[in-house]
Amino acid sequence: MGTFTLGRVRDVEVKLHPSFGLVFLYVFFQWGTDASGLAGIVAVLFGLLLVGLVFACVLLHELGHSFMAMHFGVRVHDVTLSVIGGVARTEHVPSRPSTEVLIALAGPAMNVAVMVALAPVILLYGVTHGLASGGEYVDLALGVSVGSLLVWLFYANALMVLFNMLPAFPLDGGRVLRAVLTLVVGRETGTRTAVLVGQALAVALAIVSLVWLQNPAAVLIAVFIVVMAQAEGRAVRLEGAMRRLRVGQFALWDMGGIAPHQPLAYALRGGPRDLAVTDRGRVVGMLWRHDVLHELHGGSRLTVADVMDPDVVTATVDESVYDVQHRMNRLNRWAIPVTEDGQYRGIFTADRFVHVYHHLAPFPLAARRMTDLAASFRQGVRAWTR
Ligand SMILES: [Zn+2]
């Protein structure tokens, strides 16, 4: 389903998920019907204003995560608001535990900041309206007034902090727990433990809300937590597996690349592809296929050296597929020459991820991730060529 782009805040695209429409339905039932005893156009407008402000706080929460992530050099794709809240999609890079904690806490910190800002305003409102006891402040929430709006907004932010700090993936508290466990038992075991804790908590939450509160909405949230925790656990296991695979195992031996003095036309033997340029076994550049195709239009007499990209980026055979993938991603490179003791050993291209995938067969999600990765590489390279 298509999302609607609201705008951008400091390079972060803010989107609205179609399910957000349900929010208006909620406002109508909550404030537009007789059940609340406040029915009327004023009550509906009050509901719209309140819900609008609550979602502004949700957005603030997600931007808190986003800006902290950007501060640590993690790319943020976008922030999407849906009926169940907000999600900031960031580049999947495992950072140091301390960084992960800071990114996770930056969201709830925004809600705490809103609460700190609201508290004196609510107190001032209470004093000017002659409120004496704590109970009278709580009762403010019952009506349709500025005071009610302020109190509800305060509650909503407190609830966001409490809920998000539950130690359950993908909630912020779950990320903090994982980071702390990572320090003690390592990332993979830490994640596995955090996932189990989160799922147990989600099941407990569902039982409590069904039996005592008779509220089925929490069951949906619990299911969401269980599924997301599962996905997170799988992603980290996949990452661990990719860290154990050596890139040398997947490099393609292409007869030693191409020499700088050779005519450019030689590059097309065996079809257009990206080639490592080697001189006595050493990598001295990259010959990108789009450059070759571009230059050969007029049947030129250029040599490989005239067209090659002298910017040498290589990987060594012992590096993990995981690290190499991140380097390629960061540098926006489709192919990377693999060397051993400085000697060229073959080329590793994004297409080779298909073979990597065969070694990761126990991971059902891996196939899609690998295909996505190859597609995003291709898009990146295309955008770069234009
Ligand atoms: Zn959060």
Q: If you measure from the C-alpha of residue 65 to the centroid of ligand 1, how many angstroms do you get, rounded to a whole number?
A: 7
- Nearest CA-CA partner of 45 in 59, 26, 55, 32: 32
Q: If you measure from the C-alpha of residue 89 to the centroid of ligand 1, how many angstroms do you get, rounded to a whole number?
A: 11
- Would you state the pLDDT for residue 386? 29
Contacts of 109 (CB under 8 A, 6+ apart): 64
With bands split at pLDDT 50, 70 and 90, how would you rate the model's confidence at 380? very low
Residue 109 above 90 pLDDT?
Answer: yes
- Would you state the pLDDT for residue 108? 93
Strand partners, 252: 347
Q: If you measure from the C-alpha of residue 85 to the centroid of ligand 1, how many angstroms do you get, rounded to a whole number?
A: 10
Query: Which two three-digit tokens encode residue 223?
Result: 């299911």
For residue 232, indicate whether it is catalytic.
no
- Nearest CA-CA partner of 268 in 310, 312, 313, 299: 299
Residue range 111-156, pLDDT digits in tens: 999 999 998 888 888 878 777 777 777 777 677 778 888 888 998 8
3-state secondary structure the chain: CCCEEEEEECCEEEEECHHHHHHHHHHHHHHCCHHHCCCCHHHHHHHHHHHHHHHHHHHHHHHHHHHHHHHCCCCEEEEEEECCEEEEEECCCCCCHHHHHHHHHHHHHHHHHHHHHHHHHHHHHHHHCCCCCHHHHHHHHHCCCHHHHHHHHHHHHHHHHHHHCCCCCCCHHHHHHHHHHHHHHCHHHHHHHHHHHHHHHHHHHHHHHHHCCCCCHHHHHHHHHHHHHHHHHHHHHHHHHHHHCEHHHHCECCCCCECCCCEHHHHHCCCCCCEEEEECCEEEEEECHHHHHHHHHHCCCCEHHHHCECCCCCEECCCEHHHHHHHHHHHCCCEEEEEECCEEEEEEEHHHHHHHHHHCCCCCCHHHHHHHHHHHHHHHHHHHHC
Place of tokens 């050993």: 345
Q: If you measure from the C-alpha of residue 267 to the centroid of ligand 1, how many angstroms do you get, rounded to a whole number?
A: 51
Residue 385 above 80 pLDDT?
Answer: no
Q: If you measure from the C-alpha of residue 107 to the centroid of ligand 1, how many angstroms do you get, rounded to a whole number?
A: 5
Candidate ranges 45-49, 95-99, 153-157; pick with highest mean pLDDT? 153-157
CATH number of 247-385: 3.10.580.10
Q: Which is more confident, 166 or 214? A: 166
* pTM score, whole prediction: 0.67
Is 294 labelled as part of a ligand binding site? no
Place of tokens 């989160």: 198
Q: If you measure from the C-alpha of residue 114 to the centroid of ligand 1, how many angstroms do you get, rounded to a whole number?
A: 15
Contact yes or no for 177/169 (Cβ under 8 A): no
Residue of 13, 62, 188, 239 marked active site: 62
- Would you state the pLDDT for residue 142? 73
Mean pLDDT confidence for 291-312: 77
Residue range 68-80, pLDDT digits in tens: 988 888 888 888 8
Kind of pairing between the strands at 4-9 and 12-16:
antiparallel
Is the N-terminal amide bond of 170 cis, ω within 30° of 0? yes
Side-chain-side CA neighbours of 386 within 13 Å: the count stands at 5
**What are the structural domain ranges in the chain?**
1-165, 166-244, 247-385
**Chain-centre distance of CA 89, in angstroms?**
3
- Would you state the pLDDT for residue 377? 45
Q: Which is more confident, 47 or 203? A: 203
286, amino acid identity: M
Q: If you measure from the C-alpha of residue 280 to the centroid of ligand 1, how many angstroms do you get, rounded to a whole number?
A: 54
- Would you state the pLDDT for residue 291? 79
Is 326 labelled as part of a ligand binding site? no
- Would you state the pLDDT for residue 93? 62
- Nearest CA-CA partner of 165 in 229, 90, 101, 91: 101
Mean pLDDT confidence for 290-311: 77
Is 11 labelled as part of a ligand binding site? no
- Would you state the pLDDT for residue 37? 57
Spatial separation of the C-alpha atoms in residues 190 and 185, rounded to whole Å: 6
Q: If you measure from the C-alpha of residue 209 to the centroid of ligand 1, how many angstroms do you get, rounded to a whole number?
A: 22
